[in-house]
Every structure is written in C-alpha cells, then in structure tokens.
Structure 1
Amino acid sequence: MEGAGRRRQNAIYRAGVLGRRPAVPTDFAELERRAKKASSTTGWAYVAGGAGEGRTMRANRAAFDRWAIVPRMLRDVAERDLGQDLLGTRLTAPVLLAPVGAGQLIAADADLHTARAAAAAGVPYIFTNQGGTAMEETAAAMGAAPRWVQLYWSTDEALVDSLIHRAEAIDAGALVVTLDTTVLGWRPQDLNLGSLPFAKGLGIAQYTSDPRFQELVASRKPNKSGKTEVTIKAIQALIEITRNHPGRFWANLRSPKPRASVETFLDIYSNPRLSWDHIATLRERTRLPIVLKGILHPDDAKRAFDEGIDAIVVSNHGGRQVDNAIASLDALVRIRDAVGPVPKILMDSGIRTGADVFVAVALGADAVLLGRPYMYGLAIAGQRGIEEVIANVIAELDLTMALTGVKNLSEVSRELLVPNPA
C-alpha cells in the first residue's frame, strides 16, 4: 500500500530520471534561502521577520530540538491513516494553512494562489482578515474545499458583525478570532525600513470590500490638521495606495476614498480593549464554530473551554508579537496537561517539517497550522510552490509515522518521545 510519503518520493525520483527537480527545495534551510532571494526586501522583512531580537522565533525552534522521537519496530504499518475530524471538517492530514496577512508583498494575488493550492492539496485554508483579496473571491477560487476565516476584532462592532456574516455566507468551517494582535508588536525588520504594508493599501481588501467599512469611510471627515509633507516617497506611496484600492486607477487617483480607506483601517482594524466580555457575545452573533488563536497560558485555555469555545490555537504569532515569549510547543505541553485529552487544540509557530507535525501531535495538538513554509513556497514558485510544500510536509509526516510504528494519529502519543539528551 503506497502512502502519501512514498507517493511523493516516487513522483520526485521518477521526475529526476527525466532531469526534472522539485519546484521548491525539500529541506527548510534551502527553502528559506531561495525564498529570501526571490523576495523583495520589504516582503522578506514582513513575512520572515519577528519581534524584538528574535528570541521567540528561536525559542520556537529550540523547543522542537528538546524532544527526540523513539521509533518502535515490527508493527505492520503498511496501511496508514493521517485523517482527523476537527469541528465538522474532515482533515486528510492534521495540517491547515495559517492566515498570513499582506501576502501581496510576496506575490500578487497571494490569497488566490494559496486558496487554489490548499484546495488542490486537500487541506483547509484559514483566510486572513488582512488579505489582498475579498473573502468571497477567495472562496470562489476554492470551490467546495474547506475554508475557515480569521477575525481581527475591530473597534467598530458593526464591522465585526459584517465580517462574521460574510464568513457565514461563504460557508466557512469556523471563525478564528486572533487575540494576540490588539496592537502590533515591535518588529525591527519592518521598522528599520519604515515599512507597514497596510499604510500603502496592501492587505486591507476584506475591509474595502465590506459594506459597513465603506460606510465608515464615507462618513470620515477630511483631515484638516495641516498640509501633508510632499516628498518623492509620499507621492510613490499615494500611487501605491491608489493602485491597491478597488476600482480603476485614474478614477481612484482623483478620489479621496483610497487614502481615506487606509486611514480608516489604521484607526479601527484592531481593538486594544478586547476582553472576555467581547468573546462572550460570539454565540449570539454566529452559528460558526469558534476558535481562539493566540492562547499561551493554561488558565486562558481553561477559561476558553469553560466559556464554550470550540477550539483554541496555541500560538505566539510565529514570534512576531512578543520578544522572549514562551515557545508555542512548550505552551502546548502545559495547556494539554491542564485541560485534559478532550478539548480541541491546534498549534502553530515553529512548524517547519513533517517530523515537527509528528512531535506536535504527540505532545497534544489535534492539528497544526503551517505558516512561513508555504509562504516561502509561494515566493519561489507561486501556487505550485505552495502545493509542493504542503505535499512535502505531509509526506514526511506519513513516513515518520511508518518508521515510528504507528498507523493513525491516535497512536501518535507522548510515549513515542523522550527529552533530547543532546
């Protein structure tokens, strides 16, 4: 019986006989190196960068290094099942694509490339709230394939409701509320370049396509605080804002709406006052399963489940928000021990390979979110690059399960791990 791992290996090796190589490298180090080469300076800073001195990013990887897999032998693993039921969605493997904002910095139509790749690979895609394409168009690109939708809680409650209703209308499988970005973290790579994609109209298409947001823009009073300094860079930024706004370029250039949209977004997109009181209103506002993303403390996890939340994502935002924060994998262990085996827990931040997925599942994750690796595949080879990254991660997970002596995810347990003596 040929599993996902052998199918992927055989496809690569057979193509190799014809002189063809994979579109993207199969190891993460080379994937990252080539993606950096293919990306713009500002794109790479935004996607690959982290908070502060990068200690949380390094901690995410060091946490995986502290565990070693102990393979078991002679267990007849010819037939393996990587499937998992999660919030009404049947996963073919315990992998979803994480929401990554402002993907236009890496490739035009990044959201559409990602949606089509996810559909082709059979994994759910969590639409980013900070995308370059409206969720309706992105959903259409996926057909009937599963999708979830991320929500950044705006300071305008009517906009929150509008985004939720749109997520329901496109048959989202869950609403993923991001908790850890009520303000942007200190990100030196972006700060040193003076680069914020949203200030140039990138990554705000969920807003400019929203009827409530359009009302807010229309009601915005003109800025009369004084003249804006005119520089070459300011003119270039205005052109970018105009180009990134929906509609025809020349009509946008004569309109105040593109700039007003950017200013409105920057004013309201996230809510520093977000609290458990806000979360408590969600059951009355949506029929969708509710997922809270950004949980790192066991007490927050317990409260989430006590409040009736359907699942959480243990995440430190890929190390992009708080420097020197706890590694997501370390937090996963503490949270799973605290809440027990039943609640649904996903995990992201630091996942690079199929072996990483195996370790995360063994330590209590029901599934993981893949982030930077697929964005690097996008940078190198577009949709095909994303598809190959997904295939490589799932293939290595399948082979790791086979070589470790397990047939399905329920057999992937902490008993197969030991603290790494290295």
Structure 2
Amino acid sequence: MTPAALSTTDFADRAKSVVPAEVWDFVEGGSGAEVTLAANIEAFDLIRVVPRVFSGVASPVTNATLLGTDVSAPLAVAPMAYQRLLHPEGELASARAAKSAGVPFTVSTFSSVSVEDVAATGALTWFQLYWFADRAVTADLVARAEDAGCRTLVLTADLPRMGKRLRDIRNGFTLPADVTAANLPETGRSSVVARHTDLLVDPALCWDDLAWLRARTRLRLVVKGVLDPADAKTAAGAGVDAIVVSNHGGRQLDGAVASAEALQDVLDAVAGRCDVLLDSGVRSGLDVLKAVALGADGVLLGRPVLWGLAADGQRGVADVLALVRDELADAMTLSGCRDVAAIRGLRCLVRSGGRR
C-alpha cells in the first residue's frame, strides 16, 4: 500500500516516478541556470512568521474572497499548459478537482483541452490570455472565454518570447501527436513548444494594448507577471482588477527577483487600488499564510497541482488542494489566526531580520 502523502513534495516524488523524464523536465525546469527557480523557494524559506498566542483559535476559517468571489481558501490554480502530458484527462481532471475544492481554475491559452470543455465542468473558471501577433486571434479568445462563462481574464505580461529552457533544449522536447493547443487553430499548432509560442505570441505587447483589452471586455482583468513597482502602479492606474506578482515560475528571465521578494514593493506601489496575488514558489499551506501575511490577497498554486495530476489524476489534484488547505488551517491555528483577515495582522521577519 502506498503511504499517505504528507506534503506536496511526496506528490512530486510520485509524479517523477510515473512520467517520462523529458515530461518531468518540462514541468519542473526553469530557464537558464535556474537561479530564479531556486530563488522562489528560498525566498519563502527566508520568511519567518511571528505567531500570536492566547488567540482562542480551535477551528480556523480558511474561506476568503478572490476577485469578488467567495472561495474556500485564498488560492487559485495557476494557468499551466498541456496538462494532458501528465494524465489523459488533463485540464478536465484538474478543473473538476478545483471545483470540488471550491477554488478557481485558470485555463491556459495553451491548454490541451478547450476553454469551452473546461468551463463545462462547472468549475469557477478564469482564462489566461497570451497576446498574439494576430489581434483577431486574441479577440476571438477573449470572446470565447466570455461565451464559455469564464469570470476573469488573466493577461500574461512577461512572455515577449519564451525563456531559454535548457532542459527542454537538451532533451529535444516535443509534444506527442495527441497533445495539442486545443484553443488555437489547427494551422497554429506545432510539436515544439518554444517554436510554437515564439511564432504566435506578440513581443510588442504594450500599455496601449492593455487599454484596448480593458475597454473590450466586461470580465475582470488581471495582469500576471508584474515584478517592478512602477509597472504595478501603471497597471493599477489602467483599471486592472488585480496584479499577479510572478516571474513565471522561474521560466522566463533567469536572475529575475523572486516573487516573494518583489511583493512588498508592488503592494506599496498599488496602494490598495487593485488586488494583488502572488505566484512562483508556492509549495504549501504555510507559504499561502506567509504570502497573505505579507499583504497578498491570495496566491496561485502551480507545480504541486501538476504533481497531483500526474500521480493520480483528478483524485491526485483534489488531494493536493485538500492538503494545502489543511496545511493553511494548521498554520493558522499555530499562529493564532481565526480567519484570513487575522493572517494579515501577523508580523513577519524577512531575510536578515528585516521587518514588516
């Protein structure tokens, strides 16, 4: 009998044992020497929580609100491409698990299941949008997301071209014939992920394009991939509903600042004009608590979801989400937080004794 998973890294171990090595590298790898990939984890390790005592917390409430919607915990599933690489049901399995867990599921533009089919699961669906050189393709994706019932558009801002992911290059990684970008026209498909992305995505994305999108859609609009406070201030002024502080999981500019390190400056720049979420490096419920304690409204959970999917399909994703929520509840009890609002009152020591 397989022992119960006690942490998300247990799911990682199981996933690594069942997927091909080149698929594992595609999921786990970062760009360049993977300095930023490692820094994302280290940044969370360097955050120390100052717990409160005599708080009388027996049963903490993890429920929160993200972008105007009640959720079971301050987290959503991050957009991640080509999930059928890891399980035949791919994004369908992940979305169903997210629905059961009561958290949003973000469909990638490069999903291996169409946005319509994912939304049909009944999950609270967000749609992640890449900006295409052919604006008609972008406009069509926005319309399809709206028609499918997605609640939110998440525009990825940090991919003018794909970062050099050395593991994939060394492996000569290509998509198998039965895994495609289901949201894109047949003529736009390619077996080589980097070539596919670089051919289609427009590197000239600018603030005028964001204004065009804001005026075009009735959906809530999120910009993902913001690290500089000046960019955060401009995005907030452009009327976005939220910013995701993110370095694309360490898969774009290697040497970029860790997301958790960039969070405070972005929060200061935004000054409450829009929500601020965080992704890149979130691996546990304790990480969720740390991000919220530092001021984030919530987090996006990425690779651990894929580990669960590879390990056991929908049940695996559900188990990962349940584990992270349970870890959050445990951390709340041990730090004296009755609810998510109380987490925001926690003090943290960051890096070499710096205080928030």
TM-score greater than 0.5 by the shorter chain? yes
Residue 296 to residue 420, structure 1, CA distance change in 2 (3 Å): closer
Q: CA deviation at 1:296?
A: 0.5
Determine the C-alpha separation between the residues in 2 that align with 1:386 and 1:259.
Answer: 28
Unaligned runs of 5+ in 2: none
Which structure has the bigger radius of gyration? Answer: 1
Within 2, Cα distance between the matches of 1:127 and 1:259? 19
Per-residue Cα deviation, 1:115-154 (whole angstroms, up to 9, x for no partner): 111111111100111011111111112x2x3110010111
Residue type matched to 1:46 in 2?
F
Specify which structure has the higher proportion of helix. 1
2:39 matched residue in structure 1: 59
1:402-417 map, 5 Å: 402-413=333-344, 415-417=346-348
Aligned residue number for residue 180 of structure 1: 158
Give runs of aligned pairs for residues 11-22 of structure 1, distance below 5 A: 21-22=3-4
In structure 2, give the amino acid aligned to 1:378.
Answer: L
Aligned equivalent of 2:303, options 342, 365, 372: 372
Following TM superposition, by how much is the alpha carbon of 1:201 offset from its aligned partner in structure 2, in angstroms?
6.9
Specify whether residues 290 and 71 from structure 1 end up closer, same or farther in structure 2 by C-alpha distance, changes over 3 A only: same
Deviations 1:236-291 (A, max 9, x none): xxxxxxxxxxxxxxxxxxxxx9779x999557531101111111101221110110
Indicate if the aligned counterparts of 2:249 and 2:281 stay in contact, CA closer than 8 A.
Answer: yes
- Secondary structure of the structure 2 residue equivalent to 1:129: coil
Q: Which one-letter code corresponds to 1:151 in the other structure?
A: L
Task: Return the offset for 1:35.
Answer: 1.4
Contact kept, 8 Å, 2:161 with 2:197, in 1: the verdict is: no
| Residue 127 (structure 2) aligns with | 149
1:46-83 CA-to-partner distances (Å, cap 9, x unmatched) read 11111111100110011112111122111111343222
Give the 3 Å change call, closer, same or farther, for CA 193–265 of structure 1 in structure 2: closer
Q: What corresponds to 1:328 in structure 2?
A: 259
1:101–1:203 contact (8 Å) kept in structure 2: no
Structure 2 residue identity aligned to 1:78: A
C-alpha distance after superposition, 1:207-253 (max 9, x if no partner): 13xxxxx6xx4xxxxxxxxxxxxxxxxxxxxxxxxxxxxxxxxxxxx
The one-letter amino acid of 2:109's match is N
Q: SS state of the match for residue 168, structure 1?
A: helix
1:168 pairs with 2:146: yes
Amino acid at match of 1:348: D
Is 1:132 equivalent to 2:112 in the alignment? yes
Name the SS for the 1:368 alignment partner: strand
Question: Structure 1 stretch 290-299 or stretch 329-338: which is displaced more?
Answer: 329-338
1:28 paired with 2:5, answer no
Q: Please list the CA deviations of residues 151-173 of structure 1 after superposition, one character each: whole Å capped at 9, or x if unmatched.
A: 01111111111100111011111
- Is the Cα–Cα contact under 8 Å of residues 49 and 346 in structure 2 kept in the other structure? no
Q: Which residue of 2 aligns with 1:347?
A: 278
Q: Relative to 1, partners in 2 of residues 1:60 and 1:259: Cα closer, same or farther, differing over 3 Å?
A: closer
Q: 1:366 corresponds to which letter in structure 2?
A: D
Letter in 1 for 2:87: A
How far apart, CA to CA, are the structure 2 residues paired with 1:294 and 1:201?
A: 30
State the TM-score, normalizing by the size of structure 1. Answer: 0.79
> Residue 130 and residue 390 in structure 1: after superposition, are their counterparts in 2 closer, same or farther (change >3 A)?
same
Unaligned runs of 5+ in 1: 1-18, 209-213, 218-256
Q: 1:157 to 1:84 in 2, by over 3 A?
A: same
Matched, 1:47 2:27: yes
Contact 2:190 2:196 in 1 (8 A): no
Match of 2:184 in 1: 207
Q: Judging changes above 3 Å, is the alpha-carbon distance between structure 1 residues 79 and 264 closer, same or farther for their aligned structure 2 residues?
A: closer
What is the identity percentage for the equivalent residue pairs of Structure 1 and Structure 2?
Answer: 40
TM-score if structure 2 supplies the norm length?
0.93
Residue in structure 2 matched with residue 391 of structure 1 by the alignment: 322
SS in 1 for 2:184: helix
Whether the 8 Å CA contact 1:97–1:371 is kept in 2: the answer is: yes
**In structure 2, what is the Cα distance between the partners aligned to 1:409 and 1:258?**
43
Give the Cα separation in 1 of the matches to 2:86 and 2:48. Answer: 34
- From the superposition, tell whether residues 181 and 267 of structure 1 become closer, same or farther in structure 2 (CA, over 3 Å): closer
Which residue is 2:89 aligned to?
Answer: 109
Measure, in 1, the Cα distance between the counterparts of 2:74 and 2:179. Answer: 31
> In the alignment, is residue 88 of structure 1 matched against residue 68 of structure 2?
yes
CA shift, 1:352, in A, is 0.3
Q: Deviations over 1:288-339 (max 9, x none)?
A: 0110000000000000001111101000000011111100000112211222
Q: Give the direction of change, closer, same or farther, for the CA distance of 1:268–1:157 in structure 2 (3 Å limit).
A: farther
Distance 1:207 1:311, change over 3 A: same
Instruction: Tell me, in whole angstroms, the C-alpha distance in 2 between the residues paired with 1:386 and 1:75.
Output: 33
Which range moved further: 404-413 or 73-82? 73-82
Q: Report the secondary structure of 1:205's partner residue.
A: coil
For 2:2 and 2:66, locate their aligned partners in 1 and report how far apart those are by CA, in whole Å.
37
Paired position in structure 2 for 1:74: 54
Aligned residues: 353
Verify the 8 A CA contact 1:152 1:269 in the aligned structure 2: no
C-alpha displacement of 1:200: 5.2
Decide whether the 8 Å contact of 1:154 with 1:268 is kept in 2: no
Cα gap change, 1:303 to 1:376, in 2 (>3 Å): same
Q: Give, as a single letter, the amino acid of the residue that structure 2 aligns with 1:392.
A: L
Contact 2:243 2:276 in 1 (8 A): yes
Report the AA paired with residue 145 of structure 2: A
